[in-house]
Every structure is written in C-alpha cells, then in structure tokens.
Structure 1
Amino acid sequence: MINLILLNVFLGSGKTTMLNALLNNYENKRVGVIVNEFGKVNIDAVLTNRDGVEMAELSNGSIFCACLKESFLKNLVSMTKYDIEYIFVEASGLADPANMTEILSVISGQTEKVINYIGSVCIVDAENHIELFDVFPALERQIEYSNALIINKSDLVDQTRIVALSKHLMSINPTAHQYVTSYCRLELVELIDLLSPVSLPAKNSSNTVENRPMVITLSFMDSVQESGLNRFLEEIAPHTFRIKGFVTTEKGLREISAVSDRFIVRPFEGRVDYHNIVLISSVGIKLMSLVTEANRKFLNGKISI
C-alpha cells in the first residue's frame, strides 16, 4: 500500500518550501513526488529535485482539469510500480481539488499497489489570502477539501490578522486542524499522521480550460545586469499574482520569486537547462505591453516572449 498526500497551496504561499521540508522529514522513507505547474515550464521540479526520490512533472494546466487529468492518472499508476511508501502530489497554485476522490476512483484496481489517500494539506498565505479570496473560487475549495490548514508567512502580519484569518478558515472548514507558522516550520510528520480525507462528496472542479489565468513564459537569450533585472521586476510584479524562474546576471545564476509586488532575487547553486521566468496574471494583454516596454527600458531587449 502507498500513502498519498495532496498539497494544496495557493500561488506563492509556500508550496516549494513545504514540499522540501516534507522531503527532509521523510528522507528515510521511500517517496515519490508528482509536481504540477500551470505554466509550460515546471520551475518547482527544479527546486525540489533530489536523489532517491521518484519525480514526475505535469505542466501547463491543473491535474484536476480535463487538460491534464488523464496524464495525472497515468503518472499515479506508474508511481505504484516503484518501491515507495508515500506519494506527495504538489498541485498547482490555482488547483481546485474538489474532484480528487473521484479521480482516484477511476484507477481503483488498476495500480500495482493500493493507493491509500490519507488527506490534503492546504497552505494559506497570511499576507495575501483575504484580499484574493473573492477573486479565485479555487481558494475556498482548497480549504474545504483539506484536513490540515497551515497559516504560513505569519511573520509578515500582526496577530489581529492571524486571528481574523483563523476565524475565516474555521467558517469554511470547522473540523480542520489549524497551524500557524513561518517558512512551513512545524512538526510535519505529526501533521501527516493526523490527516484523514474530508467527508465532503466530490464536486466538479472549477479548473477548466476556459477559466485558467494568463500564464506567460519569458526566455532570456543572454545574461542581464542584476540592477536592470530588479528594475524590470519592480515594474511588472505589481501586475502579477506570481513570478518565478531562473535568470543569469553578471553575478551568476539567480532564482526569481515574486508574490504580488514583493519579489526576491537570490543566488541559485543548482543547475538549470533553461533561463526562463513564468508570470501568472489576470491582465494578459496589459501585462504583455508592460513586459515589452520594461524589457526595452531595463534589459536591452534580451527577453524573448
């Protein structure tokens, strides 16, 4: 039997941090990971890849949408052929998991080993959740269908906001365990041991081809000046929900991470096969115009869109 855990984490709430923490906690276990990204380039797979872990990547959509559901099922079946004890599924940041149990029922009896779905963990961004809740239907579903709710980034807000957010979460899912943390620092093995699937019936996922956000992949054709890269991000980040990727500057390879207008450019010691950043936004045409102008002003036109 293989235990399956679903990670529901809205854009920029700490998904990669959480998955890496889980892999560290389960380093003595045999683990498989399925990483799902909305964009065509799977940045998270680079950030979480490690020896001894079976890894599968699913990009350019949600595993709960018709566009990737079949691929998700095939990867789950393939994972059961390995000698593993756990499968962690890192859903895309905009995933609506309401049909998870329905999806698993499709492959019942088709796998090498029985898949035991032990539940879902939802990570909530303490800083941005309340403002974004009414914009994305998937946020409510992520909370509804999880047995553990982690209020992350608590260091960025005051206690009043934490209390208000906790009450908000309880109004949606009163039976879920709640945890408050920064950088997903908590007893993860204990948290996983307390998981159980929610008793709600499966629903149609709101993830459809028609309502997906605008995802733009920018390719860097050459090294750029780090000062120009920072100016570029200052210009476009406020018009996005999420930015992530890798860029080479005169100082070396850099990892880019942004949530709304807050961004970080930091050294990356690993190896990447491409130099891209992925933008997720709801203002597609406007963003394309902003990117084109910022590319000309700050990066000497070194971006290919």
Structure 2
Amino acid sequence: MSMLAQRRADQRVPVYVLVGFLGSGKTTVLGEMLGWCVEQGLKPGLIINEFGDVSIDGEALRKEGLAMTELTDGCVCCTAGEELVPAILEMARRPDVDLVFLEATGMADPADILDELTDPFLWQKVVVGGIISVMDSKRIIELAGNLELARKQIEFADVLVMNKCDLIDPEWRQALLEWVPRYAPKARVFPAVEGLPEEGVEALLLHALHLGEKRLEHIPAPQRQEEHERTHDAHEHHHEHGHAHESLHTVGLPLDQPVERARFEHFLRELPEEIYRAKGFVTFVDDPQAIHVFQFTPGFLRIRPFKLQRRDLLRAVFIGQNLEKAGLAEQLQTCTQPATPEQTKIPSN
C-alpha cells in the first residue's frame, strides 16, 4: 500500500486542484496521476472543467469505470462556479472514490477556486490536497511577463510541475528553477517530461497534500464559516473588477468533413499569436474513418490516433484573444482542399 493510501485511511477525501495556462500539459500530467492511482489500488474521481459545450480533455481521459463529472460551458471561477461545490461533495461521497482531481480550465483563476473550496459544507468531507500548477517550461517566462493570469497560476501554487523539460536545454532549466521563486518562493518544483514528474507521482501528491492540509489548520472549526465569508467578500470584490481571463475567449467550430492533413497542420502553425491554444478531434481525407486528437500551442503541435465513438464530437476549439469566428471557420473550410507545395513543407522547428 502506498504512503498516500495509508495517510488517507478513514479520513477526509483529498481534492487536488490542477491549474495551468493553456497548453501547459495539465491533461497529460493528470493522465499520469490517474494511471499511478490505478496501479496503487486507489480509486480516483475526476472533475473536469472546460470552456465550451464539448469536453475535449474529458473524452481524452475517459476510462471505463472512472468516476468522472464534467463542468462545461463556463469556468469554475465564473459561470460554472455554482456547480463546483455540489460536484465535489457528490464525488467525495461516492464509495468508489478515494481521492478527487479537479482539472480547471486553462483560464481559471486559482484564487477564485480556493474561495470555492473554503465553503464550510466541504470541510467536513474533504481536504484540499494542494494547488498543483502545471507550466510549459519553454513558454512560461514569456507568458508570465505578458499575462497576469499566467503569473497568478504560479503564485497560488503549492506544487509546480515544470513540464516539457525534454524540450529545453540544461541552461534554460537551471534559469527557470532560479526564476520560479520570484513568484512562488514556497512552492515545490517538480520537473517533468511528458507529464511524468522525475521524482514520481507519489512524491508530488504527498507534498501537495501536506501543504493543502496546512491551509486551514490554524483556523478552528467554529471560525471557518467566518473565514469563508471573508474570502467570499473578497471574491465578490474581485468579480466587480473583472477576472484576469476576461479578455480570453473560446470559439468552437465543427470538423464534420475530413481535411487535408498537410493543409490542416499548416493552418494551425500559422495561427496568430493571440491564439494560445487549439485542440479537438479531426479526420483526414486519406482515411476518413480514423479519428485523431490534436493539441496545439505556439511552437508545439501533436496529432495522434484516438478511439472516439461519437463522431458528433469532431470539432476544433480555439482559445485566445481577439478571435474572429467567421475568419477561423473560413480557414478551416479551405483545409478540405488539396495542400499547396508550400503547405507540405516540413517545418524546421
């Protein structure tokens, strides 16, 4: 039995919150955590929050027998926030759940999620297992320099997963390790490759749980309602001034027609810098029955086969600033046409 299983025996259910900017690799990290839990005989529950009416990440993580709830069409720190506490309580009460993972949308403000988790109805049943923030090692310094939300997702972290370390050189890795304490001096950093922490999943979860348990240990139980009211007042004040992600928007477009792969890849790589993330399910003209999942962030594109039963989920989701739905739809439509010689060239990076 793992140390995590021993610590949680007959105690409250830990809830781990995964945040991280768009394209950081949260779903990949979460997949490693879920796999480890199953190997250890632990029964994880999963709550996924995504913008839009279709959960791309939910379909990618869906496994037979996994307890899963999806909160779509809104962020848990905004329109979907009212659903979060009931969803956590329902998941924590299930006899087939030992611990819960909440994967927030890449636009979620961790301060607002923490506000929801101070709800007094939760503290009798669950304990916050720590805020785990996943960051893209190649892009995080640039993102944090330009976007308040990216900085906040670091500042509020108990644990930072420094993902995609295989894509950076040793000098950049060391510079990043020295840069992180400027924003999160108390956070523990776990370098990771393709979502797998170098020190292992158990070490990460135990460390996050230790810090999560300390969040309210200085608040006696009778005072927790008062604490919730204070944080809720601050939350309402924050709403009056707007969320850090208000300028980010989502556009979903159908991909019900097969596209030319080379042209589609070229289209994604040429997306404007204001688009931070694109993902979805697609089919290609050379084999229209085979479904693929694609994941894009600037400088990174991955497309792989995926077993998807519902063809009505074939669509692309774009997240960013200044999105023009009509223009994106028109460009997607051109991807059904044969690629030009320029579009078939293999990129150098």
**CA deviation string 1:50-101 (max 9, x = no partner):** 1222101111222112x11101122112212311210100011121111334
Relative to structure 1, is the Cα distance of residues 298 and 280 closer, same or farther in structure 2, using a 3 angstrom cutoff?
Answer: same
Q: Are the aligned partners of 1:62 and 1:95 in contact in 2 as well (CA < 8 Å)?
A: yes
- Pick from 65, 78, 83 the counterpart of residue 71 of structure 1: 83
SS in 2 for 1:246: strand
**CA deviation string 1:155-176 (max 9, x = no partner):** 1122222222222211111111
- Pick from 5, 29, 44 the counterpart of residue 16 of structure 2: 5
Structure 1: state its 5+ residue gaps: 301-305
Matched, 1:33 2:46: yes
Partners in 1 of 2:102 and 2:149 — Cα distance? 17
Residue 128 (structure 2) aligns with: 117
Relative to structure 1, is the Cα distance of residues 133 and 271 closer, same or farther in structure 2, using a 3 angstrom cutoff?
Answer: same
**CA deviation string 1:204-250 (max 9, x = no partner):** 36773981412110102322232332233233365520111001113
Partners in 2 of 1:274 and 1:212 — Cα distance? 26
Paired amino acid for 2:335: F
Partners in 2 of 1:40 and 1:208 — Cα distance? 21
Partners in 2 of 1:261 and 1:88 — Cα distance? 29
Residue 163 (structure 2) aligns with: 152
Residue 300 (structure 2) aligns with: 262
Structure 1 residues 185-204: aligned runs within 5 Å: 185-186=196-197, 187-195=200-208, 196-197=211-212, 204=235
Q: Are the aligned partners of 2:46 and 2:102 in contact in 1 as well (CA < 8 Å)?
A: yes
- Pick from 244, 249, 261 the counterpart of residue 214 of structure 1: 249
Q: Are the aligned partners of 1:32 and 1:87 in contact in 2 as well (CA < 8 Å)?
A: yes
Which moved further from structure 2: 274-283 or 160-169? Answer: 160-169
Partners in 2 of 1:261 and 1:239 — Cα distance? 13
SS in 2 for 1:40: coil
Q: Are the aligned partners of 1:243 and 1:278 in contact in 2 as well (CA < 8 Å)?
A: yes
SS in 1 for 2:93: coil
After TM superposition, the runs of 4+ consecutive aligned structure 1 residues lying more than 4 A away are 198-203
Normalised TM-score (structure 2): 0.77
Q: Which has the higher helix share?
A: 2
Paired amino acid for 1:71: E
Relative to structure 1, is the Cα distance of residues 131 and 101 closer, same or farther in structure 2, using a 3 angstrom cutoff?
Answer: closer
Residue 264 (structure 2) aligns with: 229
Q: Are the aligned partners of 1:220 and 1:276 in contact in 2 as well (CA < 8 Å)?
A: yes
Residue 303 (structure 1) aligns with: none
Paired amino acid for 2:332: N
Which moved further from structure 2: 202-211 or 261-270? Answer: 202-211
**CA deviation string 1:88-124 (max 9, x = no partner):** 0001112111133431232x2368x611112111111
Structure 1 residues 237-276: aligned runs within 5 Å: 238-249=273-284, 250-251=286-287, 252-272=290-310, 273-276=312-315
Q: Are the aligned partners of 2:252 and 2:318 in contact in 1 as well (CA < 8 Å)?
A: yes
Which moved further from structure 2: 138-147 or 119-128? Answer: 138-147
Normalised TM-score (structure 1): 0.88
Which moved further from structure 2: 119-128 or 158-167? Answer: 158-167
Q: Are the aligned partners of 2:89 and 2:125 in contact in 1 as well (CA < 8 Å)?
A: no
Matched, 1:100 2:113: yes
Relative to structure 1, is the Cα distance of residues 212 and 55 closer, same or farther in structure 2, using a 3 angstrom cutoff?
Answer: farther
Residue 298 (structure 1) aligns with: 335
Count of matched residue pairs: 296
Q: Are the aligned partners of 1:237 and 1:259 in contact in 2 as well (CA < 8 Å)?
A: no
SS in 1 for 2:145: coil
Residue 280 (structure 1) aligns with: 319
1:277 to partner: Cα distance: 0.9
**CA deviation string 1:167-217 (max 9, x = no partner):** 221111111111212112221112111121375995536773981412110
SS in 2 for 1:88: strand
Residue 172 (structure 2) aligns with: 161
Partners in 2 of 1:299 and 1:135 — Cα distance? 35
Partners in 2 of 1:208 and 1:214 — Cα distance? 12
Partners in 2 of 1:70 and 1:209 — Cα distance? 19
Matched, 1:42 2:55: yes
1:21 to partner: Cα distance: 0.5
Aligned-pair RMSD on alpha carbons? 2.5
Partners in 2 of 1:144 and 1:254 — Cα distance? 35
